Amino acid sequence: MTMFTPSPTPPSFSTGKPPETRGNASPQAIAKEPRTIAFAVNNSRETAAAFTWATANLIRSTDKILLVHISDRVSKDSGQKVLQTFADKCTRRNLAFSTVRVHNSMTAHAIADVCRSNPVDICVMGSRGFGPIRRGGPWGGSSPP
């Protein structure tokens, strides 16, 4: 499983080609392999931007999206609205998806638990840089402190 937080600007590749076209496998063979991509969602701008970036640069039509929402409150409406917003975005893009909603005050741990208990290949999340992941949370940090 790869933990991934997209940067504000897309990465550049030395070959000038996306990663699917590098290496020994043909792009056609790689594109046919479905992946499960966990996408941690909330109602932040960063999450919306990460989703836009991921659908343009990472997610393939064969992938299955696992929308994950972690809430420390048992607020049925707000969590359901967030999941519905991203479910609608997946539907508009013809992406297969399912949803998971967890009530837990330790967001990073809950996301990791969901990824461990599901066949997840990649986990994507937006970050403002103030949460436990930036501070070197359970995965050692995805960006420098």
Q: How far apart are CA 120 and CA 90, in angstroms?
A: 17
How far CA 50 is from CA of 30, 55, 133, in Å, comes to 23, 9, 15
Residues 6+ apart with CB under 8 A from 39: 50, 51, 54, 65, 66, 67, 68, 86, 123, 124, 125
Residue 42, domain extent: 2-6+27-125
In a domain, 76, yes or no: yes
In a domain, 50, yes or no: yes
- pLDDT tens-digit profile of 19-50? 454 445 555 555 578 999 999 999 899 999 99
In a domain, 130, yes or no: no
In a domain, 110, yes or no: yes
Find out whether 32 and 63 touch, Cβ atoms under 8 Å. Answer: no
- pLDDT tens-digit profile of 64-114? 999 999 987 766 667 889 999 999 999 999 999 999 999 888 888 999 999
Find out whether 65 and 94 touch, Cβ atoms under 8 Å. Answer: no
In a domain, 12, yes or no: no
Model pTM score? 0.67
Report the CATH number at residue 67.
3.40.50.620
User: Which bin fits 128, alpha (ψ -120 to 50), beta or left (φ > 0)?
Assistant: alpha
Number of structural domains (the chain) is 1
In a domain, 17, yes or no: no
